[in-house]
């Protein structure tokens, strides 16, 4: 009996040992690798570079007053269309006390001079009528009297301008009524009724009363890195993607490349401008951010493959093509334009060839 148990235990141990050896052997055997394949396809290949920027009106101006004072009334609001000459605001003049005093003093002196000139003129006219003095002597007093009349009128007009911004003979308040100088849309009105404004002059830009722009002409303003600026030229096409308008592409034409770069964050950037071709059914607001794909080269409906399938051998390029199931051989090809993802195949492949994809 003991002998039977010894033999049985020995058989069990041997069986376990043999099974373990068999299991480890099978586990050590590498499984065969099955390579996936793909075929060439037809697509459009566009080689491009990207510029970031914004959409702005081509023509945008700031309306500034010609006189200093207080905004008495505003006639427009942002978003409103406006024509050249339309009224924007009215400014109430607060006269400078020094200038006002000088103008009043000038008028008083002019009236005194006129009174004296008239008295001399009347006296000399009486003498001239009696032929006591010659005409040439009388004409000198007549000229003095005419100049005195003109000086009074000029002093009165000057006083009216300081007080009201207009003269009594002008018939219109050209300085106090602010009008648009172009056709367009009101983008912003940064002042309110009651705000003080400063006139535009040689020493001061003046207070902006309104921003007006022609929204029918928009341009893309962006910047291109110095490594890309040498690849572009005026007249190239751009494809614009506007962040606020999804799933819509706008075409544009590059019209300006700055001859001077500007350093930003350690890199030299060159400003570019492009004319945007608008879509009638979509309204583009000034200041929309946009990305521009600048088309450097383009080929439509060409045979292509994914660029990751390429292998390089010196100056040659090849792919591995399946000749029999899971058997591959090198096939040298000629490539063309690449967009960084897909690459054009000029020769060496057909659309039926199965190309090994990398693991």
Domains detected in the chain: 37-44+300-356 (2.40.420.20), 49-57+215-299 (2.40.30.170), 62-93+172-213 (2.40.50.100), 97-164 (1.10.287.470)
339-344: Cβ within 8 A, 24+ apart: 339/45, 339/46, 339/47, 339/48, 340/307, 341/306, 341/307, 342/43, 342/45, 342/304, 342/305, 342/306, 342/307, 343/45, 343/304, 343/305, 343/306, 343/307, 343/310, 344/45, 344/299, 344/302, 344/303, 344/304
d(CA 132, CA 186): 71
Q: What is the pLDDT along the chain (359 residues), one digit of tens a residue?
A: 567 666 767 776 777 777 777 666 666 655 667 778 888 888 888 887 888 899 999 999 999 988 888 898 999 999 899 999 899 998 887 766 677 678 778 888 888 888 888 888 888 888 888 887 888 888 888 888 888 888 888 888 877 776 666 666 655 546 778 889 899 999 999 999 988 888 877 778 889 999 999 998 999 999 988 888 888 888 888 889 998 888 899 999 999 999 999 998 888 999 999 999 998 888 999 999 999 888 778 888 888 888 888 888 888 888 888 888 878 888 888 888 888 888 888 888 888 888 888 77
Plot region of 279 (φ>0 → left; ψ -120 to 50 → alpha; else → beta): beta
CB 224 within 8 A of CB 51: yes
Which pLDDT value is given to residue 83?
Answer: 92
Q: Which residues contact 333 (CB under 8 A, 6 or more apart)?
A: 317, 318, 319, 345, 346, 347, 348, 349
Q: What is the pLDDT of residues 142-186, one digit of tens each?
A: 888 888 888 888 888 877 776 666 666 655 546 778 889 899 999
Which pLDDT value is given to residue 211?
Answer: 93
- Against a cut of 0.75, is the pTM above it? no
Q: Which residues contact 41 (CB under 8 A, 6 or more apart)?
A: 303, 304, 305, 351
Alpha helices in the chain (DSSP H): 2-28, 97-129, 135-164, 226-229
CB neighbours of residue 169 within 10 Å: 9
Q: How far apart are the first and last CA of the chain?
A: 61
Which pLDDT value is given to residue 174?
Answer: 60
Which pLDDT value is given to residue 239?
Answer: 87
β-bridge mates for residue 221, sequence order: 54, 273
Which pLDDT value is given to residue 32?
Answer: 64
Mark 331-352 as b/e (b = at least 16 C-beta within 10 Å): eebebebebeebbbbeeebeee
β-bridge mates for residue 273, sequence order: 221, 256
CB neighbours of residue 106 within 10 Å: 17
d(CA 220, CA 284): 12
Which pLDDT value is given to residue 301?
Answer: 87
Which pLDDT value is given to residue 102?
Answer: 82
Rounded to an integer, what is the distance from CA 190 to the centroid of its chain? 20
Q: What is the pLDDT of residues 204-215, one digit of tens each?
A: 888 999 999 999
């Amino acid at each position: 009996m003991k002998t039977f148990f010894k033999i049985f235990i020995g058989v069990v141990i041997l069986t376990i040992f043999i099974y373990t050896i068999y299991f480890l052997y099978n586990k050590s055997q590498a499984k065969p690798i099955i390579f996936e394949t793909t075929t060439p396809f037809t697509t459009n290949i566009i080689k491009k570079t990207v510029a970031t920027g914004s959409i702005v009106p081509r023509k945008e101006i700031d309306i500034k007053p010609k006189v200093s004072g207080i905004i008495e009334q505003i006639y427009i609001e942002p978003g409103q269309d406006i024509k050249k000459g339309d009224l924007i605001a009215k400014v109430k003049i607060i006269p400078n006390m020094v200038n006002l005093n000088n103008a009043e003093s000038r008028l008083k002196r002019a009236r005194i001079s006129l009174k004296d000139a008239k008295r001399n003129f009347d006296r000399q006219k009486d003498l001239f009528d009696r032929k006591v003095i010659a005409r040439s002597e009388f004409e000198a007093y007549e000229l003095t009297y005419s100049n005195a009349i003109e000086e009074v009128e000029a002093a009165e007009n000057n006083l009216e301008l300081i007080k009201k911004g207009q003269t009594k003979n002008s018939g219109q308040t050209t300085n106090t009524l602010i009008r648009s100088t172009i056709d367009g849309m009101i983008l912003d009105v940064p002042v309110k009724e009651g705000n003080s404004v400063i006139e535009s002059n040689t020493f001061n830009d003046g207070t902006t009363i309104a921003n007006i722009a022609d929204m029918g002409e928009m341009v893309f303003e962006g910047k291109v890195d110095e490594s890309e600026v040498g690849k572009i030229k005026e007249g190239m096409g751009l494809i614009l993607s506007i962040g606020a308008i999804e799933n819509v592409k706008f075409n544009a034409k590059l019209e300006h490349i700055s001859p001077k770069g500007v350093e930003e964050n350690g890199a030299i950037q060159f400003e570019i401008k492009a004319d945007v071709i608008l879509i009638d059914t979509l309204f583009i607001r000034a200041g929309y951010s946009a990305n521009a794909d600048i088309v450097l080269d383009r080929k439509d409906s060409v045979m292509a493959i994914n660029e990751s399938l390429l292998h390089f051998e010196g100056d040659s390029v090849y792919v591995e093509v399946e000749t029999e199931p899971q058997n591959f051989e090198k096939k040298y090809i000629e490539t063309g334009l690449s967009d960084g993802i897909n690459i054009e195949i000029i020769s060496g492949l057909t659309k039926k060839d199965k190309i090994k994809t990398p693991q």
